[in-house]
Amino acid sequence: MSDAKPRGRFLTLEGIDGAGKSTHLSFIRDWLAHHDVQAVFTREPGGTPLGEKIRELLLSPDTRASLDAETLLAFAARQQHIADVIEPALASGQWLVSDRFTDSTYAFQGGGRGVPFERIRALEEWVQRGLQPDLTLLFDLPLEVAAERMSGSRVLDRFEQEASDFHQRVREAYLKRAEAEPHRFAVLDSSRSIAAIQDDIARHLGKLLETR
């Protein structure tokens, strides 16, 4: 008889900056611990020593990168992340929670910057070989609400410094992704109170847990 553990679940968090991902990560951490789910928490770009260096480059306001270079860097970091962190965690039966994943590339480089979705899809197929999140929580809210919440919080990174029409296109690209792949997306109206959003998150995590 095989003693292989069942594969873990792959959960990703997405949304425009200021949508509340960081706020809800600690809730997810507590919820999973409370339900005895072993989980690895990670982020993109990043998650490995190489990935974190690429993250610094991608987010630094000093970086000048072409659209393709930026997209390729995101996928270079992702490949290392999948090989070193994501696949090993899932294979060992742990859940893997990533603050951003490929939907961010579709949203920021695709929607925001105008890289054709087909080009991103080609890299996705190459690097992920069919790997997809089991659940993607999309924190969705109007730009003005996100901007208001972020105001004065800290120095803005290269993406946060973009004009509001950029962020509007990012939001729209996310919603398009969610519409195209409704089986894995949960779109959460994040203009509501933290408690209301967390009720929804708990419901979605509960469903995912049941499918284990």
The footprint of ligand ADP (CB under 6 A) covers 15, 17-23, 149-150, 153, 190, 193-194, 197
The backbone torsions φ and ψ at residue 71, rounded to the nearest 5 degrees and listed phi first, read -65, -45
User: Least distance from C-beta 45 to ligand ADP, angstroms?
Assistant: 15
Residue nearer to ligand ADP on the CB measure, 60 or 153? 153
User: Least distance from C-beta 195 to ligand ADP, angstroms?
Assistant: 8
Q: In which residue are the tokens 């480059």 written? A: 57
Count of C-beta atoms within a 10 Å radius of residue 178: 18
Count of C-beta atoms within a 10 Å radius of residue 126: 10
Encoded tokens for 174:
């996310």
* β-pair partners for 14: 138
User: Least distance from C-beta 27 to ligand ADP, angstroms?
Assistant: 11
Q: Identity (one letter) of the amino acid at 98? A: S
Please say whether the beta carbons of 66 and 123 come within 8 A: no
Residue nearer to ligand ADP on the CB measure, 26 or 63? 26
Residue nearer to ligand ADP on the CB measure, 67 or 147? 147
Residue nearer to ligand ADP on the CB measure, 107 or 123? 107
User: Least distance from C-beta 130 to ligand ADP, angstroms?
Assistant: 28
